Amino acid sequence: DTGVSQDPRHKITKRGQNVTFRCDPISEHNRLYWYRQTLGQGPEFLTYFQNEAQLEKSRLLSDRFSAERPKGSFSTLEIQRTEQGDSAMYLCASSLSSGRAGSEQYFGPGTRLTVT
C-alpha cells in the first residue's frame, strides 16, 4: 500500500497524559498537513510542512501541541497534558507541489483520540 499511513489508529488516554501520533506520507510528496475532525464537522487545518520546514500553524494549535517532520519524510504530532476537548480524529494528508492551482491532498486513515 503506497497511500498515507497513520499510527496508531486508535488511542485512549487519561486526561493529563501526553500522546504522540505518527504519519507517513506518500513517498514522493513534499507537503504534509495535519487536520483535526470532530463529530459532525469537517476537518480543520492544524499545521503544514513543506519538506522538513513547518511553515504554517493554525491558531487552533495551542502550545500543548507540537509537530515535527525531521527529515522531510514522516511526521509526528504530540499533544501534551491532554484535555477532554482534544478528543477527535487526527488526520494527516500529503500532496505534491504542483502548479498554481495546487494538487489534491490525499488523506490517511486517521488516529482517533479519546481522552477520558
Partner 1 sequence: EDKVVQSPLSLVVHEGDTVTLNCSYEVTNFRSLLWYKQEKKAPTFLFMLTSSGIEKKSGRLSSILDKKELFSILNITATQTGDSAVYLCAPRDLQGGSEKLVFGKGTKLTVNP
| Near partner 1 by CB under 8 A: residue from 21, 23, 33, 65 | 33
Tell whether residue 30 is a contact of partner 1 (CB under 8 A). no
Interacting span for partner 1 (CB under 8 A) from 20-28, 61-69, 72-80, 94-102: 94-102
Tell whether residue 60 is a contact of partner 1 (CB under 8 A). no
44 neighbors 36 (Cβ within 8 angstroms)? yes
- Measured from the CB atom, the residue of 54 and 80 that comes closer to partner 1 is 54
Interacting span for partner 1 (CB under 8 A) from 14-22, 39-47, 61-69, 74-82: 39-47
Joined together, the cell numbers standing for residue 106 give 490525499
b/e string for 2-18 if b means 16 or more Cβ within 10 A? Answer: eebbbeeeebebeeeee
The closest of 109, 103, 110 to 28, measured between CA atoms, is 103
The closest of 114, 54, 44 to 84, measured between CA atoms, is 114
Tell whether residue 74 is a contact of partner 1 (CB under 8 A). no
Q: For residue 15, give every residue at least 6 positions away whose Cβ sits within 8 Å of its Cβ, in sequence order, or none.
A: 82, 83, 84, 115, 116
Tell whether residue 8 is a contact of partner 1 (CB under 8 A). no
Binding residues for partner 1 (CB under 8 A): 4, 31, 33, 35, 40-45, 48, 55-56, 91, 93, 95, 100-110
